[in-house]
Structure 1
Amino acid sequence: MMPVLHSTKNVHVVEPPTAEREGVGVFEYTDHFSVFHHGRMPDPIPGKGEATCRMAAFNFGLLEEAGIRTHFRRLIAPDRIEFTLARLPEQLDQPLMQTAGNYLLPLQVLFRNELPPGSSVHRRLAAGDITPADVGLDAVPALGAKLRRPVIEYATTRDDVNRFITPGAARHLAGLDDEQFAALREITCKVNTVLTGHADRVGLSHCDGKAEYLMASDGQLVLADSPGTPDESRLMFDGVHCGKQNLRDWYVRTGNQIPVGKLLADGVPRDRWPKPAPLPPAYVAVMADLYRSLSETWTGEQRWGAPDLQTSTRAVTDLVGR
């Protein structure tokens, strides 16, 4: 539930929220993708929006069956969901007060089960931004390391580039007391367990993911956004990424990476940022098959006659190897 500029979803307000009452919103899942915190990239991936939307609706069903309260209301086929809408943090007095209700926490909770190539943990360790102990590790992990227990981290959501923050800073930012913050972690671990268990059942690795929450007017935490989709989780099949990491890798490998951090540090207005290079048409076609294949594998619904996931990921590997 990031600002629309950065999001691949369009948000439509049906009923605005108030301090006393939740509102109603609709997410429209588009075919856009976003990498490097740049915002929407120039090439839509046909079918990505519907494939992701159907995974989101499926996941909310799984999570609610497990007793996790979510903001999901209903699927509006083919590519929209209706959800309970809360107030944004910037609409409230700062800092957030524990007595306030019906607001979106300005926080994402990240969970990590594996550390494959592309995980930010490797980059941050190499740069000296964190130590292994900071993320609960005994030593620098190898690429692809499977963790003995999930690592939980916290990051902001309302900045131009989201920042990792300490648990103490996260609790303060979200306006939670100790009991509420413990519940936040507990729910996140349960979300991870449910989604990782489903991934195992369908032959995928759920390497990492993130969750966002709203604080309901009754003072209870409610799971928000779209957990377990390829925009929010790192899913892999037989060692091949099943999401935008493939696109991120193309930009890096070809020298077309967008230096968002430097542009922001230099104060360059967004309307003066360089235009991202377009993807080769072959990448668009392969990724379109991959998203549909992933969705069909995950949900069990055969809607598009997409190639099976083994075929789709092999096509990704063949393309990257060129």
Structure 2
Amino acid sequence: MPVLHSTKNLEVLQAPTAAKEGVGVFEYTDNYTVFHYGRMPDQIPGKGEATCKMAVFNFQLLEEAGVRTHFRRALGPNRIEFTLARLPDPAAGPPTPEAGSYLLPLQVLFRNELPPGSSVHRRLAAGTLTPAEVGLQAIPAVGEQLEQPVIEYATTLEPVNRFTTPAEAQTLSGLGDNEFRAIREITEKANNVLTAHARSLGLSHCDGKFEFLMAGDGNLVLADSPGTPDESRLMFNGVHCGKQALRDWYVSQGHEIPTGKLIAEGVPRDQWPRPVPLPPAFLPVMSDLYRSLSETWTGQHGRSAPGLSAATQAVADTISR
């Protein structure tokens, strides 16, 4: 049976064990998520297929560049088969490579620039982050491009994921010094590949996140769906091409869901306020954006998606109303 997995459904074809990786299938759906709420009330037609095409393209691009990924093969317009690793039990303590294959309970975030919506600006303003902690000399300007990418780490198995120090990230992931250095090296390489491709198309690859699994042979493997609009912040002509555009609409209309506050106050999830749906006219605008972005990114053009300039302008016009 498929298992709900954020904007994707997960189907386990072969369960992983400590001795051997398994096989899974991701079905990319038309759902979207913002504010750590989970699936929002609407679906964006065509989003799943558009995202899947980008994921397949990126896996192939990264593999050609020498980055090992968990991708096995495409199964259709919105499904892929991939290598599946065990999910560690947080109660059992940090996993170790000696225990076999596992998904690292960690996400690695990279930032090439700091556009509007970047959490760095919010955290600096709140005093929960200092420039020195992310290798910056001073508080950056909104939209500032960084000389070197900033690398950060966050949890993945907590009710609301939180940022961690590199030392805590290494402990949580159960990695030795060499393996933990390798995570950063793979992140930098994969980021460079995706950023170069974005730049060749006139897009900005502002930031994103990667997840990894430890394979049974002791090597790290890039997982999830790198470089897609669910995992990376992509911009064109100053307009966000993904979930940030959806966040911006909710915030501009006063409909943001304060999930962090609700969790901190212990409010049961079934008592959280229901998010309002998007305006019906916004759904086709976002549908055009996802399909146009996917076609531009992959070079696989269809017949109905508008050009990316027109698609992003329509998004900007809708949010500003």
Classify the TM-score, shorter chain. over 0.9
| C-alpha deviation, 1:147, in angstroms | 0.2
* SS of residue paired to 1:281: coil
> Deviation of residue 304 (structure 1)?
4.7
Cα 1:239/1:306, change in 2 over 3 Å:
same
Change (3 A) 1:92 1:68: farther
Q: Pairwise CA RMSD of aligned residues? A: 1.2
Cα deviation, 1:269-293, whole Å, max 9, x if unaligned, reads 1111111011101111100000000
The letter for the 2-side match of 1:299 is T
Q: How far is 1:238 from its partner?
A: 1.0
Measured after TM superposition, the shift of residue 92 of structure 1 is 8.6
SS in 2 for 1:319: helix
Question: Which stretch of the first structure deviates more once superposed, 284-293 or 311-320?
Answer: 311-320
Which runs of 5 or more structure 1 residues have no equivalent in the other structure?
none
**Aligned residue pair count:** 319
Matched-pair contact (CA < 8 Å) for 1:31–1:49 = yes
Residue in 2 that maps onto 1:169:
168
Task: Give how far 1:91 is off.
Answer: 8.1
| Structure 2 residues without counterparts, runs of 5 or longer | none
The CA distance in 1 between the partners of 2:14 and 2:291, in whole Å, is 32
TM-score, normalising length: structure 2: 0.97
Cross-structure match for 2:284 = 285
Aligned with 1:231: secondary structure?
coil
* In structure 1, distance between residues paired with 2:280 and 2:89: 40
Q: Residue 96 of structure 1: CA displacement?
A: 1.3
For the residues of structure 1 that align with 2:292 and 2:96, how far apart are their CA atoms?
Answer: 44
Aligned pairs for 1:58-69 within 5 A:
58-69=57-68
Equivalent residue, structure 2, for 1:21: 20
1:146-165 matched pairs, under 5 angstroms: 146-165=145-164
- Quote how far apart the aligned CAs of 1:93 are: 3.8
Kept in 2, the 8 Å contact 1:292–1:304? The answer is: no
In 1: Cα distance, 2:125 partner to 2:275 partner: 27
The separation in 1 between residues aligned to 2:231 and 2:34, in whole angstroms, is: 12
1:202-227 deviations in Å (ceiling 9; x for gaps): 11000001100000000000000000
CA distance in 1, matches of 2:271, 2:238: 38
In the alignment, which residue of structure 1 is the partner of 2:81?
A: 82
Identity of aligned residues (%): 69
Show the counterpart of 2:295. 296
In structure 2, the CA distance between the partners of 1:4 and 1:121, relative to structure 1 (3 Å rule), is farther
| Structure-2 change in CA distance of 1:42 and 1:175 (3 Å) | same
Structure 2: which amino acid aligns with 1:282?
A
Which contiguous aligned blocks of 4+ residues in structure 1 show a shift greater than 4 angstroms? none
Match of 1:138 in 2: 137
Instruction: Report if aligned partners of 1:296, 1:302 keep a CA contact under 8 Å in 2.
Output: yes
2:126 is the counterpart of 1:113:
no
Equivalent residues in 2 for 1:90-101 (5 A)?
90=89, 93-101=92-100
Cα distance, 1:98 vs structure 2: 3.7
Q: Could you tell me how far apart the structure 1 residues matched to 2:66 and 2:107 are?
A: 21
State the shift of 1:95 in Å.
2.1
Q: Deviations over 1:16-60 (max 9, x none)?
A: 001111100000101000000000000100000000001000000
Task: Show the 5 A alignment for 1:1-322.
Answer: 4=4, 7-90=6-89, 93-322=92-321
Contact 1:108–1:155 (CA under 8 A) maintained in structure 2: yes
Secondary structure at 1:176's aligned position in 2?
Answer: coil
User: Structure 1 residues 91 and 112 mapped into 2: Cα distance closer, same or farther (>3 Å)?
Assistant: closer
- In 2, Cα distance between the equivalents of 1:194 and 1:228? 10
For the residues of structure 1 that align with 2:185 and 2:282, how far apart are their CA atoms?
39
Q: Are the counterparts in 2 of residues 49 and 79 from structure 1 also a CA contact under 8 Å? A: yes
